[in-house]
Structure 1
């Protein structure tokens, strides 16, 4: 088979790039396409020397720094790729990659991290955070998001098979595109987070400090529990709000950004990893479980795929300090085995991801009568 893999854009080695890395491991002979490629040399290792074919976005003024500002042109850009010679197209999509044009003889399997969140249910939150709820700029942005939403819905019909990264995203796909999908959880590097059965006394949160992560809520809750230690690792624009929520509490330690070895040590030593965001999946939770660390997580989003209640952690029902406090109190009555946490994490390994994607593609090829060798 001739195979093409389409990725949105390449500017850092983050969550979606880890999916791309595994797709390239499954299909090393595939040709790679991306809307644009500005990966620094220090982060290109996972491409294995490949140089992707890029779109006209790559050559637009100041694209290296401002390529996201060209979002309105990306549907046109991704539709310009000529994929007529391929038997199989795999797209890794959180915005436009699933919108590539393929012919009737080409099987298109799309791994969807999410429909275009800022054009659908998170539009109002996006406008509020960008301070564009009113005025001419806000009106223009609403018009653009309306256009993107219409294109996102239409292009959601183009893949033949859709894999969703969690049950939460599968439901979002059903709601936004009226499509069914198969859940294939993203790959997690479990080897980088070794199992440690002995735990310390501190609860830990490690995250970017952005509004939806609700680190301020966690700090507020633990300020009301002075007999319980909390360590917060991470940095970002919400740091001021987090410090304000923590106040002068002696039981809360804010470390700021930490190195990868220090992060692993924190997760491995934690009494529990606390997570208060409504996240599409939540790789950090799996990394904590790989260390044998229990979870206390908000019960919406990807956490419901990860946490096995009362076995590897527990879920709290509301994004409120009182709800988290009640969860911590209940957690301390449970006897959660670190071994159960590690076994749970194994469900999300890179090997499991590769096996599931191979099977999904093989079944889709068989259904279409496409020879795979």
Structure 2
């Protein structure tokens, strides 16, 4: 629909960008916080990174309402993070026991997202890792899209997902491949609906350019830095924290620590791999399962380093670890590339980036970290985390929505 020129996109990241002219000599104002906004979010199975971003957007726009395909958030989470926010879910949310199989309904999700009527709102903000961006809007309605990721399992990670599901070229595998083909067609068509796209990392920005041929601006997700405990005096253990899914590569971390029995590893989180990972772990690896927020923060803050071997689109847990003063040992692709100030390349490093997803490469990175541990200080990590503050995110979102609105003023 409307593609942003690079010069216009760059203004979002710089305060001087507010002086960009929009058909007049007046500076571009920030968007109205009290506007009636429809926030469209793919689904809410749990309160993880995407839902934290959703919560912050709701705080920026107190009159916003949320539209989501599936809403499984417990009442205590709603009370804490979405107080007085109205949620609208799809008709499929009422299917019996849908929480156990909602992901298998992905082929219905494009249809379901198009059934939300958001045409009565001042503007639409989609929070999208899959389907939210495809909501139908009025031609004169501003639409800002915050992209957590293009649909992983439909594009560059299709083959790994099919392999994990043991979906070859038998009848079931062919049906899935055909449905993913149609999903890619829909995804490409709807990519040109939003007036402006924001990417949550440089990695996602490059994927948006390659897959959709669109420019986007990086706006890092918000991290509640002031709520995160800073600990300078570390304990003698490493931590990894994530939803235990295959692409997180927690298996690689456990294998590496199995080869290093003198080093302790704490694994925080649950997921479809929980049982298999526990069965392969050595005595030096401890699983905590899901932790309440305060205990999670304390566990991360006391660790000598957080280890992450996956390719995450951004990885709010990694940025939160930095805010706690905890160094990172992470695979050097995806969001970690934006978050870590790597040792050996830059002043005041905050962690180690390793180049290949292999046990040997990770073990070598741990060795490098321990040889240079005194040069990677908790204070540098905390200072680095200021780049991901909530105030910075709020201002970037207000600027971006104002730019999206400006297209319709000029018509």
Same-fold call, TM cutoff 0.5: yes
Other structure's SS at 1:328 match: helix
Relative to structure 1, the CA distance from residue 138 to residue 194 in structure 2 (aligned partners, 3 Å threshold; closer, same or farther) is same
Aligned pairs for 1:315-326 (under 5 A) are 315-326=353-364
Offset at residue 25 of structure 1 (A): 1.1
| 1:264 paired residue number | 297
Offset at residue 56 of structure 1 (A): 3.2
Offset at residue 16 of structure 1 (A): 1.5
| 1:275 paired residue number | 308
| 1:357 paired residue number | 397
Report the more deviating stretch, 51-60 or 336-345: 51-60
Offset at residue 151 of structure 1 (A): 0.4
| 1:24 paired residue number | 58
1:24-48 Cα deviation digits (max 9, x unpaired):
1111122332234343323222332
C-alpha distance in 2 between matches for 1:206 and 1:276: 11
Report the more deviating stretch, 209-218 or 134-143: 209-218
Offset at residue 154 of structure 1 (A): 0.8
Q: Is 1:200–1:270's contact at 8 Å kept on the other side of the alignment?
A: yes
| 2:43 paired residue number | 9
Relative to structure 1, the CA distance from residue 239 to residue 79 in structure 2 (aligned partners, 3 Å threshold; closer, same or farther) is closer
Q: Is 1:57–1:70's contact at 8 Å kept on the other side of the alignment?
A: no
1:205 aligns with 2:237: no
| 2:154 paired residue number | 119
Offset at residue 146 of structure 1 (A): 0.8
Q: Is 1:11–1:40's contact at 8 Å kept on the other side of the alignment?
A: no
The correspondence for 1:300, drawn from 333, 339, 343, is 333
Q: Is 2:254–2:285's contact at 8 Å kept on the other side of the alignment?
A: no
Relative to structure 1, the CA distance from residue 7 to residue 326 in structure 2 (aligned partners, 3 Å threshold; closer, same or farther) is same
Q: Is 1:12–1:43's contact at 8 Å kept on the other side of the alignment?
A: no
Offset at residue 308 of structure 1 (A): 0.6
1:193 aligns with 2:228: yes
Offset at residue 244 of structure 1 (A): 5.7
Other structure's SS at 1:124 match: helix
The correspondence for 1:168, drawn from 195, 203, 207, is 203
| 2:106 paired residue number | 71
Q: Is 1:217–1:245's contact at 8 Å kept on the other side of the alignment?
A: no
C-alpha distance in 2 between matches for 1:64 and 1:257: 20
C-alpha distance in 2 between matches for 1:32 and 1:67: 19
1:314 aligns with 2:348: no
Offset at residue 130 of structure 1 (A): 1.7
| 1:43 paired residue number | 77
| 1:330 paired residue number | 368
1:81 aligns with 2:116: yes
C-alpha distance in 2 between matches for 1:276 and 1:120: 21
Other structure's SS at 2:69 match: strand
| 2:6 paired residue number | none
C-alpha distance in 2 between matches for 1:313 and 1:351: 25
Q: Is 2:266–2:288's contact at 8 Å kept on the other side of the alignment?
A: no
Relative to structure 1, the CA distance from residue 142 to residue 342 in structure 2 (aligned partners, 3 Å threshold; closer, same or farther) is same
Gaps of 5+ in 2: 1-34, 344-348
Q: Is 1:94–1:114's contact at 8 Å kept on the other side of the alignment?
A: yes
Query: Which is bigger in relative contact order (C-alpha 8 A, separation at least 6)?
Result: 2
Relative to structure 1, the CA distance from residue 54 to residue 211 in structure 2 (aligned partners, 3 Å threshold; closer, same or farther) is closer
1:198-222 Cα deviation digits (max 9, x unpaired):
1122222233333222222222223
C-alpha distance in 2 between matches for 1:176 and 1:364: 22
Aligned pairs for 1:145-156 (under 5 A) are 145-156=180-191
Query: How many correspondences in the alignment?
Result: 368
| 2:253 paired residue number | 218
1:135-160 Cα deviation digits (max 9, x unpaired):
21111111111111110111111111
Relative to structure 1, the CA distance from residue 352 to residue 225 in structure 2 (aligned partners, 3 Å threshold; closer, same or farther) is same
C-alpha distance in 2 between matches for 1:241 and 1:178: 39
TM-score normalised per structure 2 = 0.82
C-alpha distance in 2 between matches for 1:341 and 1:230: 20
Offset at residue 165 of structure 1 (A): 1.0
C-alpha distance in 2 between matches for 1:227 and 1:47: 44
Q: Is 1:200–1:269's contact at 8 Å kept on the other side of the alignment?
A: yes
C-alpha distance in 1 between matches for 2:267 and 2:100: 30
Report the more deviating stretch, 100-109 or 288-297: 100-109
Gaps of 5+ in 1: none
Aligned pairs for 1:83-162 (under 5 A) are 83-162=118-197
Q: CA RMSD in A?
A: 2.3
Report the more deviating stretch, 191-200 or 309-318: 191-200
Offset at residue 65 of structure 1 (A): 4.5
